[in-house]
Each structure stands twice: as structure tokens, then as C-alpha cells.
A and B are shown apart, each in its own frame.
Chain A
Amino acid sequence: MIQGIFYARFLLQQGPKIVAQSPPDCIVTPTSVSSSNNQALSPTAPTTTGATTTAPAPAPAPKPPLIDFDVLREYIIPRKAFCNRFITVQDPEGRYAVLGFPVLITHAKYPRNEFIFNFGLVLDADAEQASYERVVRRLAVTFAEMEKQDEYLSQQETEDWSRRGYGLGGCYRGGAGAGGGGAGAGAGAGSSTCAGEEKAIVGGVKKVGGERRPIESLLEIVREDLNNYGECMIPVDDANTINMKLFPHHPPPPLVKGWHVPVAKTKLASLVDPTWDLTLQKVIAHIDGVSDVRRIAFQADVSLDLATLALRHLLRYDVILLLDLFFFGSCYAPRAHGIHDFVADADGMQDECAAYVSCGPVKVPRFRLVRLMTSFCVGKSVMEWIRGHQEDGFDVLRFVDVRRLVQFGVIKGCLYRVHKYVVSKQYLAALATGQARPAGGDPLQKYTDGCHSFDQIITEQNLSDAEIMERLKHLPLPNGDLTVFYR
């Protein structure tokens, strides 16, 4: 929620100054805007005309400003070293955050060779800033470009000033064609402060000839549209439109590995349309909840890196989740909180589970499911678990899709996979002394540091568990050097 939006300038005589703001009283009260205007102008020009034409009628009961501009001006228009970068600051009370991007344009055509401005936002201090950063950057880049191309901002000032009968012609020496025209027009307007003529002059200056929106109203539209619709599309003049949209900021998704098994959370096929990225389309077609990433990449005829990238993209939008490879020989064990939730039937988990895993003619009763789920344990493979229940008089395989049951448990956080690792003492000793890679070309050696699960070896080496064990036996290592452990 944008609490306030402002346009600040560094002015030669007055220093940092809020030129336009929305809502009208958010940074400085409107009276002070106009009065400071007048103060600045008064030394040379009579104030009467200027004040009446520009200052809007003061609000009946102006609210106090959101922030104290005197305290924060240093961060809104900072020193040159900090210009042209995104700057945020919190007010002393910790209620609001000010986001800005002070822009410094150096060019000889400006007084003191510089033009400094900042389009900033005031947000609640606890608001998510990341999505608004884009807004501030976009405003900065758009207006910086427009200023560079046809002096959009400086021109407006010239007009404002000229309206007050304050000729600025002398200030702008030469410059680009449009600038020259502007200076001339400004001087012209200065001599005759007639409102009707003014419009014509503006048209003359802007070669495109469109009517120009005052920045104040532009800010108001930006604020209201972003607050109400989360996006805005504002034609600034005939040639330029500001398009902005607030995007929620997600933390980067976890990495996708070759041995992960992606499972779709929604019907991906119904989301896809032909305009999607081709790799993504190919990959999505092979997500079946059983195949691992490497297999998907192979089946989809996509490089593993690209498949990983595509899946990570889906992960970012939270339409898939990653599981482990399912084998009947592997082991699962309950997780403290998840299993308790399952027993307690939190969120109707048991019925959901029954609907997902039942494969016989009847739904598995809920008590049976609880029994099944809680009887997983460290040191017991799925096979042994099935056998245990068979001995108990319940033929699991007849009524339950075991893979689905296990996956349900893993997805809901009731179970975790106990992975199998292999570790070589010799290799560890080498690592401890700082030798990164001990000599020996066997491709399996690098997995023997206890950090690589068998799932990884299986997918990366394209070997089965038994084959790996066989290969490990033939590694040229002293007897008893290799140890397999489960974690």
C-alpha cells in the first residue's frame, strides 16, 4: 500500500524540495510547498500572480505529514556520491519507509551542470518493499530518459516558472534543439502571463504537440492505480507510457537435482498453452510423479541443465514439488510433528490420504491408515514394513498403493526418507588433510565422503543399488575401509 508518492528536486536556491506529492499533505503540507515557492521567488519577482495560479486551495484540515522532510531530506536528495542508486530509509519512529532513486543527470545545459530529481514512495515500514523497488526504479528510469531526450522535467519547471512571470531564459544556455526552444518559449511566456497563450506555447515546445499532464496528477494516478489494481498504465505524453505492475517477491526456489522426482500440484496440462517456452512444454509432458529429473530430461530430449532450470521455474510458481526416488528397498521413518498431525487427523488428512492411496475396491479405513503410517521406522525398509503388516493379517499390497502412501506421507511431512550413504575412511582422511581429491580414477570414489546419497549415485552413474554395491566392493581400498550408513 503506497502511503505517499512524491517528486523531489534539488533546486539551486532552495536545496532539496518536494515539488509534487500525492496525497497532497503526505510529505510537506501544501501551504508550505507554495509558501516556500514564494519565498524562493520573492527576491526577484512579485509573488501575487504566482501564488494564485499554482497553489491549490489549501485542504480544510490538513493531516500532519507522514514523515518529517527536514529529517529525511538528506536521504531523498543525497550527496552526489549516492545518486543514481536505489535508496531507502526509515523514519525515526519506524513507521514509514521512504523508497527513492535519486537521479543525477550531468550536462552542461543545466545550471551548475547538474539536474537532480527523485521520484519516491512512502510505504508502511513493515510493508514488503521488494515489489515496490521495481516501481521506483521504473519511475526513475523513465523520467531520466525523458529528461535526457526532451527535457521533460526541466521543461515543466520552466513553464511553471514562466507562468509566474519569472523568465528563466538566461539560465539555460543553448543545449539541444528542444532545450533551446524551451528557453526561448519560457522567456516569451515571461513577458506575457496570459493563460490562453501559454497552452499554445506549450504545444509549440513539445514538437509532438500533445497536452502534458502535470506531475502532481500523474503521481496521484500512479498511487491510486497501484494501490487499487496493483498495476498501472499511464500515458505520460504522446510518445511515452509508464507501465508498472507489482509483482510479489518470492525467495529463490530450492535447487533441483537430477535425482529429485517432481510431482505436479495442479493439472499442469490445463495450464500450458502453446506460447510457453518449448523446453518447459516438453518437460511438463513427462512429469508423472515417478520419473526423476534425469529421466525426464532424457525422455523429453532436453539437456539436464535446461530441464533443471525449467523445473525450478515451476517450483518458483509453486506448481510442483520435489520428492525422492521411490524404491521398495528404501527406508522411511516418521517425523515428529507431521506424524502427530496425521494421527490427530489435522485438516482431514486421513480422508485425503484414504482417497489418494486406496487401490482396492473399498477405501482403506482410517484407523488402518494410521496404523500403516505410524509403523514406519528407522531401520525398516518398505519391503520389511509390508511383510510386517502381512504377518499381522493385512495384505497391504491388495488395498494400498504403497508408493502413493509413502509419497503422501513425505509430502505432508509425516515421513522422511532415510537415505543410504557410503563413506571411505581413506577418503575422509585425505579430505581432512586438505587433499581435495585423492588419486584414483574410479568414478565412484567421489561419492565416498558420506555426503552423496545412493539416489544421486544411482541417477548419475545409471547403476542400480546392487550394482553400486558390487562396484564398491571392487574399489582398490583396504579391507573394511568402506562403510554404508543410513541417515
Chain B
Amino acid sequence: MIETSDKPRIEFTPERLERAKEILTHYPEGRQKSALLPLLHLLQEQEGWTPTEGMDYIAEFLGIQPIEVYEVATFYTMYHLEPVGKHVIEYCRTGPCMIMGGEEVYAHLKQKIGAQDGETSADQLFTIKPVECLAACGWGPCFQIREKYYTHLTIEKVDEIIDELRK
């Protein structure tokens, strides 16, 4: 849900500001709105999720209306519009992974973490998000955490991955 707020302003860190400025050079004069998706990724990389204050900052940065940012952020599935845990597990639920035992592995994962679809674990360490096909069908079942793909998942492998991340 998006609502305006009086929360403190969000800005890119100096290092990300440099990257944002570099991204703007990819597009012709007057077409800076093209940078919107990459900048939203940059914001989420910095904040862990996509807060409204950050979207307002991006609107200002690109010289567009805040609504132009909100309508895009809500269309695409990768931008987390609510706070999330430290690790967001995006689990593929689509056919090719499912027929390879994806559902059993997913049920185990949810039980191990103690959270259901879209929820965050009590220790704020994990958020589970079922997602559609991740283009890794021959290596399924699979999930991704940030930029890393975890493939050929089994119940044992999930235990290892989660235990490692809990350390």
C-alpha cells in the first residue's frame, strides 16, 4: 500500500548517487525516465525494500511525478512495497519446478523458517515470497535470494542453506 508520509527523507548514498548518474547517461536527452526501473533496483539494494519516501526521491531525481514511480513499482513483482526480512527467499512455484518435487521442498522451507507465503519470520531474518518461473527450469526446484540462485534443491539442501544463513 502506498501512502504519503512525514517520515524522514531518503536519498541515495554518495556511491549510489554516482551510479545513478552513470545510469542516466544510457539514454538520450529527455528520456531520463528510462532509468526508473534500474533506479528502483538501486533504491531497494540500499534500503532492503522500496519505501514511498524513496520513490518520492526518485521522482524528484528524474523530474517526474511521484505517481509515475508508484504505478511502475506496483506493476513489477520485484519491488518489495512492505518491509522485508534480511533475506528474501523468492521461491519458484511454476510447473517445471513443481513437477520435480518443488512443492514438498517449499512446504519444508516454510516449516523450517516458520513463515507462510509472503510472511517474515519472527526473528526478521527471512521473508518468503512465492514467485513465478525464474528461468532455471532444468535446474529446479530453485529459489533466489537477492542476486543468488539456489538450484537443484532438496529438503537436505534447504536445511544446509538456511542453517548457514542463520549463522
- Chains A and B bind each other: no
Q: Give the B-binding residues of A (Cβ under 8 A).
A: none
